[in-house]
Structure 1
């Protein structure tokens, strides 16, 4: 491991697509899909999810997706289940649907190995089952990371029930992507309701800000709930430029002095040694500058949040990286593909 907690290996900036040595290779990490079983489960429980053309794009793991990737100017999608995910489903159903989704992703990756990769989607309503599925996904399907939606019911990610999952991820040396989830109903009622129409309330509680506060709280609970103290090599990934946490890191650090016994490290150390960050399609040079200042280029990766954000076609994703004057060429390659390749490199055989 390097000092920043990233697995060491060959220089990732040397990699490029075959036959295009001068082209920036872009790997995207928050790129969603769905399955018929998931759609049926969400529908049966009246959970909100993308319908119409969005659902068509989520279901397409072949030519339509590849064409959209080409239009956005990106090379690889690392596939994961779309929201509302698995977290609101009964445990046994979540396990079965996670396994089905992971198998479908594996088949798509086998068909397009140069364009698609997969996350192990974790059935966290059954924490022990999630650990088992993570191991299966890594050892049998060849995936390189796990994916979850954070809090499950009244269990936050630092709950003891999840410690087996975190231990398994640390043992396998695979990161886990911590995706936002809709806040609990009581929080939605108290904080995000009353704007005059259900659509506004829903947007307020999800993509406008509610998702990001919820995911940021989960990340902070991993730090202050001592998950990283128990598993110091564990790596997680969060989207949306750190889910608010990076923008309030200096203020949040007030918690450090309140912890008794003290944490093993300071908040900035956890943020730089155990966490990676992606933009999730939020193509802001100001946010990029802030993230570079707080954690550095070797902790930033790339994502577009396919298929949810508008105007991701026409090469906008590629333009964001290629036209970022803040970045050196080495930093550009690290963010576009190099950090992911180092983070997910498998240990060499002895």
Structure 2
């Protein structure tokens, strides 16, 4: 059984200096691990039984980074995928200050390097992808037939200062707003906003990937049906019916069975993709969870690699 992970992080030479210093909020994985996309990382994959990683760049200011630096980041990822084509694939980093520039860079990396889509981290200037400014990017992703991976990032200050600061440490506040809760709520909201704004009616073939077993959406499934669907007028489908058509979820960051069972019941095995969230989460528990999932062997293989082979057109 080949195992492929697609929420697997790295940081390029161009942006390594922006990574928080050890001990600071957000420095949850050593920078030397994040910047390595070569033999050392492959040795870890070999040890843990991972066949291939899809590299996603997880850090740069989405609207202030220079286009040349983002292009250099993608060029560096392309060097790794060219050198180790059976071990690495890549999602593009994008210059999201301009959706037109982002669309051009997505096209460049897909056509020139064979990248498998793009990873988008959080909101852009506090805006979600349902904003009309992002239409050129959504249209280009649909045209190219590649997905966009919606990965969380820390909420904007106007949200975090109210929601996640209090009579506790900065580290606890950062954790509330990120890994424990905040960014999962935000990504789940991001997907629902795209649906009710008609993104998937305008772009019916656009594919979106979200992590962490659906970013809390499975838990709110009944509420979405009861409250949101009757009020989301003008859509071609009920809100929940866009998920089996346009949305894929990964197992990133989860290594226990109960949340997986809920995601499986809601989304089905055909829409679930294995991921680790490396190096922020350890590989071994994720692989072990895959091996003990209460599914048929056919579905286990789909989750391990079959679904993502189809989605990303991997050889």
**For 2:168 and 2:106, how far apart are their aligned partners in 1?**
42
Match of 1:205 among 169, 177, 200: 177
How far apart are residue 41 of structure 1 and its match? 4.8
Match of 2:35 among 36, 59, 68: 59
String of CA shifts for 1:174-219, please: whole Å, max 9, x gaps. Answer: 1110001211112112111114111111111110101111111111
String of CA shifts for 1:192-251, please: whole Å, max 9, x gaps. Answer: 111411111111111010111111111111111111111011100000111111210220
CA shift in 2, pair 1:322/1:42, >3 Å: closer
**For 1:341 and 1:283, how far apart are their aligned partners in 2?**
22
**Counterpart in 1 of 2:11?**
34
Match of 1:319 among 288, 292, 299: 288
Q: Tell me if the contact between 1:121 and 1:146 (Cα under 8 Å) persists in the aligned partners.
A: yes
**For 1:173 and 1:166, how far apart are their aligned partners in 2?**
11
How far apart are residue 148 of structure 1 and its match? 0.6
Higher RCO, Cα 8 Å, sep 6+: 1
Q: Which secondary structure state, in structure 1, belongs to the residue aligned with residue 248 of structure 2?
A: strand
TM-score normalised by L of structure 2: 0.93
**For 1:336 and 1:179, how far apart are their aligned partners in 2?**
20
How far apart are residue 258 of structure 1 and its match? 1.5
String of CA shifts for 1:110-145, please: whole Å, max 9, x gaps. Answer: 111111111112221221111111101111111122
Structure 2 residue 190 is the aligned partner of structure 1 residue 222: no
**For 1:143 and 1:74, how far apart are their aligned partners in 2?**
19
**Counterpart in 1 of 2:230?**
257
Which sections of structure 1, spanning at least 5 residues, go unmatched?
1-23
Match of 1:187 among 145, 155, 159: 159
How far apart are residue 102 of structure 1 and its match? 1.1
Q: Tell me if the contact between 2:57 and 2:92 (Cα under 8 Å) persists in the aligned partners.
A: no
String of CA shifts for 1:243-264, please: whole Å, max 9, x gaps. Answer: 111210220232222133x211
How far apart are residue 150 of structure 1 and its match? 3.5
TM-score normalised by L of structure 1: 0.84
Q: Tell me if the contact between 1:86 and 1:124 (Cα under 8 Å) persists in the aligned partners.
A: no
**For 1:171 and 1:339, how far apart are their aligned partners in 2?**
20
Q: Which secondary structure state, in structure 2, belongs to the residue aligned with residue 37 of structure 1?
A: coil
User: What is the total number of aligned residue pairs between the two structures?
Assistant: 311
Q: Which secondary structure state, in structure 1, belongs to the residue aligned with residue 113 of structure 2?
A: coil
